[in-house]
Amino acid sequence: MKKELSNQKSIYIHMDNVINNVVTSGITFCDFMQGVPAPPENILLIKHHFKDTSYNAHTAFHYLESSDLKQLKQAPLMKFNNFCWVDFEDVELVNQLSPQEVAELLYLAHTGRHLRSPFYYKLQNNFVYLTKKDGRYNKVYYRNMNHFYAVLSQAITRKTEEIVHEKSFLMPNRRKGVAVPPSDLLKKMMKYFKEGACISFAHAEKSRTQLRVPIGIDFDEDLSELEDSSEELTYNEVAAELVYDLKRSEWIYIEK
């Protein structure tokens, strides 16, 4: 049975290591920008609804520069519907894109699929970010997959803080920061991410000393269902647990 989500807690992940893309639910653009080791300096907007942007006449795409991105990552999630972009180093490189490459970018934004490599020599891009509803169903291509684990680490930290501090809003000075889970620890779940997995904060168990978060696998439905639904997918098996020691501020990974 599905459970209606008013405020999504869990993180869903389906990874394709062959073409370096990751489909996620529960990870936002803000998580991405705060977690990625080398945030993009400029982004070429291949689908968007923003007003304050710069315009590139050669491609007819709009774009945002570094100063714009600092403001954008603080914006409400509702502004990120149909938010698709690719990063680039310099506008002069954008002006070198061929009509074929512009067409490929349009196809990426329209279908969420690549025709050729999504990493363009001319743009020197490290990412392609595709979403219709940011944080609910995102597809991101990473040139370096280590960057994904850094983003995931940020999202896990944020969601852990929400649970650990949910009853401490009256005593903010007593809040203790949550340790960031190491990327090497999260990589132990890679085999489950390849088939589709859920870091189920919705079913986390908290005691005085620990927070235990199950890693769910074997879904009855494809993760693509999350794109058009506001419901939680049900998993049939718990493969592992991600455990946070509240006293030691340490993360532990336990296989079932």
Query: Does the structure show a pLDDT above 60 at 171?
Result: no
DSSP one-letter code for 226: H
Q: 229 and 133 in one domain?
A: no
Query: Does the structure show a pLDDT above 90 at 36?
Result: yes
Give the number of domains in the chain: 2
Residue at 1 is within a domain:
no
Q: What is the mean pLDDT of residues 64-69?
A: 88
Q: 186 and 111 in one domain?
A: no
Which residue segment(s) compose the domain that 94 sits in? 14-147
Question: Which of 100, 115, 147 finishes a domain?
Answer: 147
Asked whether 186 and 154 are in contact (CB, 8 A), the reply is no
Q: 163 and 141 in one domain?
A: no
Asked whether 197 and 149 are in contact (CB, 8 A), the reply is no
Report the sign of the C-alpha dihedral through residues 162, 30, 109, 192, in that order. Answer: negative
Residue at 8 is within a domain:
no
pLDDT in tens, 240-256: 999 999 999 999 999 98
Query: Does the structure show a pLDDT above 50 at 19?
Result: yes
Instruction: Return d(Cα 105, Cα 132) in angstroms, integer.
Output: 16
Asked whether 81 and 134 are in contact (CB, 8 A), the reply is yes
Q: Which helix (H) or strand (E) is 84 found in, with range?
A: strand 83-88
What amino acid is encoded at 63 in this protein? Y
Q: CA-based Rg of the chain, rounded to a whole angstrom?
A: 19
3-state class (DSSP) for residue 12: strand
**149 to each of 15, 43, 156, 194, 232, how far by Cα in Å?**
11, 21, 10, 14, 23
Q: 138 and 164 in one domain?
A: no
Instruction: Return d(Cα 164, Cα 81) in angstroms, integer.
Output: 30
Q: What is the mean pLDDT of residues 57-66?
A: 95
pLDDT in tens, 99-114: 999 999 999 999 999 9
pLDDT in tens, 187-231: 999 999 999 999 999 999 999 999 999 999 999 998 888 888 878
